[in-house]
Chains A and B, each alone.
Chain A
C-alpha cells in the first residue's frame, strides 16, 4: 500500500508530439482512482508511464515517497492487469499466477501457498492446472487479477480490464473488483473509457482530454459540478444538453434571433455554454421556458428517453423521464429548465461560472 504522486508528469514523443503536457495528481494510500476519457486522450499512456512501460519525459513520479522515473517496471512494486489479460499461454493458471514470485526467488512452498490463497478468494481453485486457452473470458480475467494480487504489490494498475467481457459479466466483475480493492486496501489506478464503470468504481475520477486533466474529483462532484463543458458532456448518460448561449443583463438568450430568453440572476455578460441534464428538464402543462418537438422515443421501462429539437433554435435536446411515457412523434412538449439545475460555462475560457 502506498501513496502515488505525479508531479508535473509529461510525455513527449521523439517526433515532437506532446501526448501529455503536464499532469499533477496526488493519490492517497488505498485510494481507487479512475482515469477516464475518450480514446486518444492519453489515459493508457499515463498508466503505462506509472507502470514503467513508457518513459517519463518531464516531471516526477514517486511511489511511497521514492522517485520512480528511472526504475524498471519490476522494481516499482506494481502489478498490472492488461486489456488482453496477457496471460502466458504455455503456462498453467498456477504457473501464470506464480511467475512473478518465482522470478523474485520466493520458495516453492510459499508460492504454492499464496497462489492457493488467492485462487480461493477468486474462485479459481479448481482451475489451477488448466491452460489459459481452456478458460472462458471471465475466468481469464480472474486469472489476470489473481496474477496481480498474488504479488501483494504497492499499487494495482488496470488497463481497461473489462472491455473484452460481455455486458452482464462486466457488471459482475465491476462489483467484484470494487469489493476486492476495498478488502485488500491496495492503491489502485484504473483506466477506462466507459463513464459508467468510472462512476461506479472510483473514489476519485480524473477526466482526461487530449492529455490534460480536465477535472479531478469524486464521481458525484463531477456529476453535480462539472468544471468544463467537456466534463459535463462526458459524465452522465445520456449526456448533458449543452447549448451555446448569451448572457446579458440577467437574461440568458438562446438562438440567433433571440427566440428564447430566460430570466436569471447571473451577473456575467457574454458568450456562454449553457447546460442542463436530461433528467432535470421538467414537463409542464402550461407554457414553459421552451417547447420541444419530439423526434424519437426510447422506452427502457424504468425510464423513458425522449429525443427532439427545441422549437425556434433548432438545437438537439434529450429529456429523461422516469417510468413509461408514449408521446407522439412530432408532438410538442412544454419544458421548464429550473435555474438551480443550470450549468453555465464561459465560452472563451471553457470554465464553469
Chain B
C-alpha cells in the first residue's frame, strides 16, 4: 500500500532537514576533500596549484603510508577480535545470571558513555611507566613496560583503550542476540546429549553469527575511524610511527604537517575503504549469514 500526497512540495519539506544535514555536513566536506586531493596548497592557504594525481602518486610511493596501513590492519584486527571475544564471554555469562542482571548489564554499558579521549587518558595514566598502577604491577611481576619507548607496548596500550570502550557496544548486541535464542532449542540440545560447550558451538554460536558478523564490520569501522581520540590522548601515533593509524596520519599530515593536498588524498582513499566496507556488509548480511 502506498500513501499518496496531494501536495508536490510537502514531501520535499518533510525530508528537507535530513537532506540539509547530509548536504552541509557530509557531502560538501567530502566534495571539498576530493577537490583538495588534486591540488597542492601552500601552508597559509593563499595560493594553490592543480597537480592532478601527483598527491596520490606521492602517497603511494611513501613507505610511511604503507607502514600506516600495516599499523591500521594490526590495530583494527586486534581491537575487533579482542573486543568481540571478550564481549561474547561477558554476554554469555550475563545471560545466565538470574538475580541482579539489570545492575550487571548497566555497569557493563557505562564505558560506552565515556568520551574516547577520556578513556585514552584513563588507560594512559594506569599504564604510565613511572607511576601507573598497572605498569608498577607489571614491573613487580618482572615484565618491562614502557610505551614511550617500546612500539609494541604502545600498540598494546591503544588496543586495550580502544577495545575497552567498544566492549560495551558489542556486549549489548550479543546479549540481545543470546536472549533471542529460544530456551527450548538449548533444552532440546541438552536432551540430544550436547554438553554446555558443545551446545554453545553447535547451536548458540551459529544462531549468533549474523550478530557477530554485523559487529565485526562495526568494530573494524570503529577501529579505523573512531579511535582518533584514544590515540591522540595516549600515544599520539608514537613512538615513531608505531601507532600511527590511517586516520591519525590524515590529521597529522594535514593539520600538523600542513600538507593539505596529501592529507586530502588520504581522506579520499579512506572514503573508498568505507564505501567498500558498506557494500561488503550489506551484501553479506543479507545473503551469506542466513540460516
Which residue numbers of A lie inside 8 Å of B, CB to CB? 51-53, 72-74, 78-80, 82-84, 86, 88-90, 99-100, 103-104, 131, 133, 147, 151
Contacts and interface: CB of A to CB of B under 8 A. Distances in A.
Interface of B, secondary structure class, is helix
Contacts of B206: 90
B182 interface: yes
Contact of A73 (B187, B202, B203, B291): B187
B190 A72 contact: yes
10 contacts: A51-B187, A51-B191, A83-B184, A86-B187, A90-B207, A99-B202, A100-B192, A100-B193, A147-B192, A151-B192
A84 B182 contact: yes
A100 B203 CA distance: 13
A88 B188 CA distance: 9
Contacts of B198: 103
B190 A73 contact: yes
B185 interface: yes
B77 interface: no
A104 B191 CA distance: 11
A99 B184 contact: no
Interface residues of B, number: 18
Interface of A, secondary structure class, is loop
Contacts of A100: 191-193
Contact of B192 (A103, A131, A133): A103
Q: Closest 6 CB pairs between A and B?
A: A90-B291, A100-B192, A103-B193, A86-B184, A74-B193, A86-B188
A343 B189 CA distance: 47
A82 B184 contact: yes
B270 interface: no
B96 to A, nearest CB: 15
Contacts of A78: 191
Contacts of A79: 191
Contact of B185 (A88, A103, A133, A151): A88
Contacts of B207: 89-90
A52 B190 CA distance: 9
Contacts of B193: 74, 100, 103-104
B291 A131 contact: yes
Contacts of B187: 51, 53, 73, 80, 82, 86
Given A103-B198, A131-B291, A86 B185 contact: yes
Nearest to B187: A53
Given A86-B182, A88-B203, A100-B193, A80 B188 contact: yes
